[in-house]
A and B are shown apart, each in its own frame.
Chain A
Amino acid sequence: MGNAKTTAPTRVEPPKPPAPEEELGYRPLSQRQLIWRRFRRHKLGLLGGITILFLLLIFLFAEFISPNNYWVLYKDYPYVPPMITQIHFDGLRPYVHGLAKRQACIDLDLNIIQYCRDFPPDANPRRLPGVYVYKETDQKYYLKFFVRGPEYKLFGFIPTNIHLIGTGEPMRSPGQFFPFGTDKQGRDLFAMVLFGGRVTLAIAPLVILISFLVGMFLGGLSGYLGGAVDTFLQRLAEIVMSLPRLALLLAISGIVSSLGLIPPMVRFWTIVGLLSMVSWAPIARVIRGQFLALRESEYTQAARALGAGNLRIIFRHILPNIMSYLVVAATLAVPDIIILESILSFLGYGIQHPLTSWGMLLNSLVGEGFQFEVQYHSWLLIPAAFIVITVLAFNFLGDALRDAVDPYTVAEVKEEGH
């Protein structure tokens, strides 16, 4: 596996090696091309990969794509139901009606919820405190593309106020567009989902990176050196793995937050650190196994015979060969991290205001009022759907990558006549 060959980015290769193709009658493929070829056959894996890329893209441009800023409280418009289904068309021009907040009443006999004064006189409506209905006014507000709206900083440093879509109305105007509706305080759920996705998808790779670095160091040390070091590190990993990680994370996080108010970014890194603390151990074990297997392989022995030092063998001979396994393991570890982070934030011990994450958005559903919220404001569950989609996408991608990287499983599939 020459390094020069594997770094060729695409199948369009420089005109240097046309000879073997003509001589052999077929085109020699690099390891990377073989993996890509096997991966492409996995339609679901491809779908997962595309989904992840798409999500990453929209999360990167979260402030631009969403019509409103996620941190703004539209106090006049709490609990607006999703408006993405309320878009009307005037020819080809999309528009939404203006919002008019009204107190909702319920009639248990008729089983309808609507504006209290709209009930027929013989009905027996009961006020539902905290539940509103939004009547559509006759005023049409056209949705415009690349509209000037609330100001924000793109990528955190480019000040602008151009949004992909929106009504371009000022904050108190009834002509607002909330694609996924709003929450109790009148924050745009769509904007929060996009921004929360950015936080969630930033945490997972960071945690994976840290735990892989730690896991690679300890696992590599353990697998390469063997002996007493190996035994000690293995016991350590086993002990870490037999701790109740969620309860421990909750307890530590609770104690940390009781220390006082900490800046949101410090909180963010605390969560990253805590999650890495519990996720390095299984990774270290996987890497140790790989190191053990490759330590005795012929080419490692050959390198050693040629006088290569430990570091050279590790970095030039063993690491490049287990890299593909590591990529697969990393992809498959992402869903677990996302779920763990979501649970922590869901219970209120993860990411905290003003940052947000999908789990934290669901946090409003914890506790006494949960059934009430779910019954009347079920759009607050939308972030949960995003968690599921993301986790599914990573699982599909990871499975496909595993099959693509591991030639044995593919050979098996071929045998069985696929």
Chain B
Amino acid sequence: MLLGYIFRRILYMLPILIVVTLIIFLLTYLQPGDVVDAMCGLSCPQEIRERLREVYGLDDPFVVQYLRWVKGVFTELDFGYSPIRKMPAWEALVGEGRWGYTLLLVLTAMFVSWAVAIPIGIYSATHKYSPADHAFTFLGFLGISVPNFILGLFFIWLMVAIVKVGQIPVQFGCITQLTVGEFFSPSCRDAPWGISKFLDFLWHFLPPVLILSAANTAAVIRYMRGSLLDVLKMDYIQTARAKGLSERVVIYKHAVRNAINPLISMLGFWIPYMLEGALVIAIIFNLPQIEKTFIESLENRDYAVVMSGLFVFSLILMIGNLIADILLAISDPKIRYE
């Protein structure tokens, strides 16, 4: 039953995939300059030019080119060649463990925001209109309203201009200086793993995670509070209380279990925001991620890499939505599998 649902859900991704590849290919197709210009320059003799056009099939009809491109992408991740980085575009984008850092940051941020927000949401809903609830509500409002790229800017300003981290004397293992940005301080980057390198990593890794998860945390708190308040008004909660169940069981076993479903269905909605945030955070904190390569390639007009980046982002989004839907199907028995 569930497997069938997952299968159908994956089939359902096909039209999205077609649109995404179509858009990406259209962008590649329409942009000025082509492979020939990139390979032998503008002063290329007409003869070689025509040979190359023939080899790369640039004179074929649009649909043929598109299908050939799609085949290349899905069989061997062939997005073309990056003349600036002098390697295949796909390699240039995800190489050197960059995809790992992207996933690590986004997944950790997602996890942190839920781990922080759900308990706060439960507390807020069960202690409605208490001072703490008001404080959390206000903080939540702030978290939603302050865009995370500004949070990132302010954080770096705070560290660099106010706390002056560069001037705090530190000497611990490989750490010789506190720095902001990137995942390691320069002195730790090539050092072997140890306690000091790990601490250095945490010092650099946690701020982006917290900043990236701020908006999501605020949103989850808000929805959790609202959803739990709605559930607590239900008759079956009253029944559970009337049965003499302890308040703890009523809240956690009956109410929270039901209140969390709408949140999971919102997960698919938040993943895009998370990825957008990760893109800007990667730039501000200068993190060695896919996103940074994406922007750099955009600046260098290295469009083969840009297109593979678009493809990766769409893929992450689609998989994220898929996982959210599967989670919802598992957690909410009411969901129909049709």
Contacts and interface: CB of A to CB of B under 8 A. Distances in A.
Interface of A: 108, 111, 235, 238-239, 241-248, 250-252, 254-255, 258-259, 335, 339, 342-343, 346-349, 362, 365-366, 370-371, 374-376, 378, 381, 384, 387-388, 391-392, 395, 416
21 contacts: A108-B167, A239-B19, A242-B314, A243-B20, A243-B314, A244-B276, A244-B314, A250-B298, A251-B27, A252-B27, A255-B27, A255-B30, A347-B295, A348-B299, A370-B284, A374-B153, A375-B160, A376-B161, A384-B154, A392-B141, A416-B129
A248 B279 contact: no
A402 to B, nearest CB: 13
Contact of B160 (A371, A384, A392): A371
Contact of A347 (B147, B180, B181, B283): B283
A374 B160 CA distance: 7
A133 B220 CA distance: 46
B167 A250 contact: no
A375 B181 CA distance: 14
B27 A258 contact: no
B323 interface: no
Contacts of B156: 370-371, 374
B283 A366 contact: yes
B309 interface: yes
A381 to B, nearest CB: 6
Contacts, number: 121
Given A244-B314, A258-B31, A381 B154 contact: yes
B27 A246 contact: no
Interface in B23-64: 23, 27, 30-32
B147 A391 contact: yes
A388 B157 CA distance: 16
Given A251-B309, A255-B31, A339-B147, 15 more contacts: A241-B272, A243-B19, A243-B314, A244-B275, A244-B276, A244-B310, A247-B279, A250-B294, A251-B306, A347-B295, A362-B153, A370-B156, A371-B160, A392-B141, A392-B142
A130 to B, nearest CB: 16
Nearest to A371: B160
Interface string B152-178: 011011001100100100000000000
Nearest to A388: B146
Contacts of A111: 164, 167
Contact of A259 (B32, B141, B161): B32
Contacts of B272: 241-242, 244-245
A357 B316 CA distance: 31
A371 B177 CA distance: 15
Nearest to A244: B313
A292 to B, nearest CB: 19
Nearest to B138: A44
Most buried by A among B145, B295, B314: B145
B301 interface: yes
A247 B16 CA distance: 16
The 8 A-B pairs at the shortest CB distance, nearest first, are namely: A244-B313, A246-B276, A339-B147, A254-B298, A392-B145, A247-B313, A375-B160, A384-B150
A395 B145 contact: yes
A1 B294 CA distance: 54
Interface string B276-306: 1001100110000000001100110101001
Nearest to A392: B145
B227 interface: no
Chain A CB within 10 A, most for which of B129, B144, B295: B295
A248 B313 CA distance: 9
B134 to A, nearest CB: 12
Given A259-B32, A375-B160, A251 B145 contact: no
A386 to B, nearest CB: 10
Contacts of B147: 339, 342-343, 387-388, 391
